[in-house]
């Protein structure tokens, strides 16, 4: 059975008062009873001695029995005591409350038995004669140094017993009354003191339940007041701390939600426990997939395997992973970190997905570019080396072969230097610093057309190609760099010359809208197959390898053209029909 603080206080009060009062009562009861008994005994002994002294002669002389009887009756009547005279053998000579003849020998009575050894003797006994508890006192009567008789006085104990019972009843009722009073005072006092405790308990329960704004309103200067004040302070501090933690958590959640990187939290079994918005969108995570194994989320077991490694090693780790998402190949660098709680136990793994697809593509392109460039350089170099070796091996002697081989060596070296020139230009344009240096100015398109024509007239004439320019009447200015714009036009027209058979037509034209100037280079050449058209602006791409190679192409020209046009803020497109010709059109901003 559980006792509350109130019951405990009340029961303690009750126990204390009842025990102390009972102890005191018992002591007083005993004390007063003994006191009464003592005085009664003294009274009896004194009276017995008085009777013995006063009536000694009468007692001794047996012939004066009647006088003795009269005397002791008189004394008995006055003192209200029972007086008995016994002979030395314990036989009753006379008794004031009874008939001596009917009384048996009293030698075995306690007070009589002890007389020969003592000055007096007493006893308490139930008297069959008086039917009461009686107190007896006996004194010896000596004559000529010999015990000749015994005087015994007796009185009823009823008054003492009545007094004892009355006192006991009084003490009991006093105890009962005090108990009731203690109970009432206890209830009042405990209510007074436990009320604030109950209020504090209720408030503490509310606080524990999350109602942090709860305060205890106890304005006393005692310990309870102090406690309430301290709890209030504690709650205020906790509320402040929790608000801070809450704000921090919200901030972190916000960062996590709005992060560009996908974040997945894996538990120790490899199940996805939490995912941020990017992860949900990226992996099409529906709520029912949360809590599922990472394989069902990203379709790859490497995540779980790495998470297990991180968990056992308790060290972060990064891996690269290629995934197909939304039909696109993506490369991720995934960072794994173990989540260790305050007890030092690893509870899960945090995985952050960095989309490095662009970087990977750049890297792949670089590798591809180096391989392509090396290949493009290796081809003419092999030819030069081969033909020079043949010449050295004796072909120098043969005049026809010598000329032919040297011509090949010359062409191949020209191709090489062109390629290196193109590559250098590309490298130059690739640097941000250089692009910033390139000065943009107002350029008259007709001047560019003239410069290109002047530069390429020998090549046009060589193939007997028809050249036509078409320009609006007024001057047309574009925002560009003269040298690079000429380079664009030269590349496009050179291509047109390269891929157009003799007697073909090449035309350059210009058309204007309010914001843009469109420039086209059209030829009546071999054209480009539709499957090649999307790739012709890629580096090292050649539509018809054999033809392009024989034409001296390296596959860089168009990529350079697109690069330059985009640098000026324009765009280039190509249209072509196999066998009929190709048209390249690009626009440049007017301002
Ligand atoms: P190349 O140096 O090989 O000409 P380009 O980058 O200038 O390299 O051109 C890429 C490819 O596009 C060429 O190899 C060729 O197949 C095709 N091409 C470019 N211009 C024309 C054109 N006017 N007519 C037909 N094909 C062309």
pLDDT tens by residue, the chain, 591 residues: 567 888 888 899 899 999 999 999 999 999 999 999 999 999 999 999 998 888 888 888 777 778 888 888 888 899 889 999 998 888 998 888 878 788 888 889 888 988 888 889 999 999 877 788 999 999 999 888 888 899 999 999 999 999 999 999 999 999 999 999 999 998 998 888 888 888 888 988 998 888 888 888 887 888 888 888 898 999 899 889 988 999 999 998 888 888 889 998 888 888 888 888 898 888 888 888 777 777 777 777 888 889 889 989 999 999 999 888 888 888 999 999 999 888 888 889 999 999 999 999 889 888 988 888 888 889 889 999 999 999 999 888 888 888 999 999 999 998 899 889 888 988 888 888 888 888 889 999 999 999 999 999 999 999 999 999 998 888 888 889 999 999 999 999 999 999 999 999 999 999 988 889 999 999 999 999 999 999 999 888 887 766 666 666 778 899 999 999 999 999 999 999 999 999 999 999 886
What's the gap in Å between 124 CA and the centre of ligand 1? 148
Residue 551: predicted pLDDT: 61
What's the gap in Å between 455 CA and the centre of ligand 1? 19
- Which residues neighbour 263 within 8 Å (Cβ) at sequence distance 6 or greater? 256, 274, 275, 276, 278, 279, 350, 351, 352, 353
What's the gap in Å between 539 CA and the centre of ligand 1? 11
Q: Whose CA is nearest to atom 8 of ligand 1?
A: 555
Q: Which of 494, 504, 536 gets mutated to test ligand 1 (max ligand atoms within 8 A of its CB)?
A: 536
**The two three-digit tokens of residue 49, written as one number:** 């001695």
What's the gap in Å between 537 CA and the centre of ligand 1? 9
What's the gap in Å between 431 CA and the centre of ligand 1? 25
Q: pTM for the full model?
A: 0.51
299: helix, strand or coil: coil
Q: Whose CA is nearest to atom 4 of ligand 1?
A: 553
What's the gap in Å between 548 CA and the centre of ligand 1? 7
Ligand 1 atom with the smallest distance to the CA of 549 is 3
Instruction: Give the pocket of ligand 1 (CB within 6 Å).
Output: 495-496, 499, 523, 525-528, 536, 541-544, 548, 553-559, 582
Q: Which of 548, 562, 576 gets mutated to test ligand 1 (max ligand atoms within 8 A of its CB)?
A: 548
Q: Yes or no: say if 36 and 163 are a contact pair by the CB < 8 Å rule.
A: yes
Spatial distance between the Cα atoms of 112 and 150, rounded to a whole number of angstroms: 8
What's the gap in Å between 446 CA and the centre of ligand 1? 25
Q: Which of 590, 246, 328, 547 is nearest to 442 (CA)?
A: 590
């Amino acid at each position: 059975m559980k006792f509350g603080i109130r019951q405990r206080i009340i029961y303690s009060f009750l126990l204390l008062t009842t025990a102390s009062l009972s102890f005191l009562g018992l002591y007083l009861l005993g004390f007063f009873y003994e006191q009464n008994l003592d005085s009664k005994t003294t009274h009896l002994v004194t009276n017995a001695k008085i009777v013995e002294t006063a009536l000694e002669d009468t007692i001794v002389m047996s012939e004066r029995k009647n006088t003795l009887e009269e005397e002791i009756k008189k004394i008995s009547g006055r003192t209200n005591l029972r007086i008995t005279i016994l002979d030395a053998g314990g036989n009753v000579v006379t008794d004031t409350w009874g008939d001596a003849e009917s009384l048996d020998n009293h030698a075995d009575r306690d007070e009589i038995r002890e007389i020969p050894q003592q000055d007096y003797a007493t006893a308490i006994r139930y008297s069959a004669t008086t039917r009461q508890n009686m107190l007896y006192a006996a004194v010896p009567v000596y004559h000529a140094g010999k015990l000749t008789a015994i005087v015994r006085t007796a009185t009823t104990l009823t008054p003492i017993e009545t007094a004892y019972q009355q006192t006991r009843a009084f003490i009991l009722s006093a105890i009962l009354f005090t108990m009731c009073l203690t109970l009432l005072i206890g209830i009042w006092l405990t209510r007074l003191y436990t009320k604030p405790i109950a209020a504090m308990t209720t408030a503490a329960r509310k606080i524990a339940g999350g109602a942090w704004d709860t305060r205890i309103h106890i304005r006393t200067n005692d310990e309870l007041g102090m406690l309430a004040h301290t709890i209030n302070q504690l709650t205020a501090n906790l509320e402040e701390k929790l608000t801070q933690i809450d704000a921090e958590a919200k901030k972190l959640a916000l960062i996590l939600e709005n992060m560009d990187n996908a974040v997945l939290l894996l538990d120790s079994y490899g199940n996805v426990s939490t995912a941020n918005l990017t992860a949900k969108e990226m992996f099409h995570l529906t709520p029912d997939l949360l809590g599922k194994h990472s394989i069902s989320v990203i379709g790859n077991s490497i995540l779980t395997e790495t998470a297990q490694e991180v968990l056992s090693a308790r060290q972060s780790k990064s891996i690269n992973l290629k995934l197909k998402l939304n039909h696109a190949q993506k490369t991720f660098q995934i960072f794994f970190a173990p989540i260790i709680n305050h007890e030092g136990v690893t509870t899960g793994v945090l995985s952050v997905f960095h989309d490095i697809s662009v970087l990977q593509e750049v890297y792949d392109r670089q590798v591809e570019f180096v391989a392509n460039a090396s290949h493009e350089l290796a081809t003419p170099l092999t030819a030069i080396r081969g033909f020079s070796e043949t010449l050295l091996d004796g072909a120098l002697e043969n005049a026809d072969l010598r000329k032919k081989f040297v011509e090949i060596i010359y062409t191949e070296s020209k191709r090489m230097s062109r390629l290196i020139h193109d590559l250098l230009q590309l490298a130059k344009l690739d640097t941000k610093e250089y692009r910033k240096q390139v000065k943009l100015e107002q350029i008259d398109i007709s001047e560019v057309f003239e410069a290109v024509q002047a530069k390429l007239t020998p090549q046009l004439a060589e193939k007997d190609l028809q050249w036509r320019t078409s320009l609006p009447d007024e001057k047309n200015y574009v925002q560009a760099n003269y040298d690079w714009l000429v380079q664009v036009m030269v590349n496009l027209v050179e291509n047109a010359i390269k891929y157009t058979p003799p007697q073909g037509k090449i035309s350059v034209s210009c058309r204007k809208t309010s914001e843009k100037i469109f420039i086209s280079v059209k030829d009546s050449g071999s054209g480009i197959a539709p499957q090649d058209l999307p790739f012709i602006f890629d580096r090292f791409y050649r539509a018809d390898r054999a033809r392009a190679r024989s034409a001296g192409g390296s596959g860089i020209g168009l990529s350079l053209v697109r690069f330059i046009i985009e640098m000026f803020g324009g765009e280039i497109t190509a249209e072509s029909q196999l066998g009929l010709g190709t048209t390249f059109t690009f626009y440049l901003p007017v301002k």
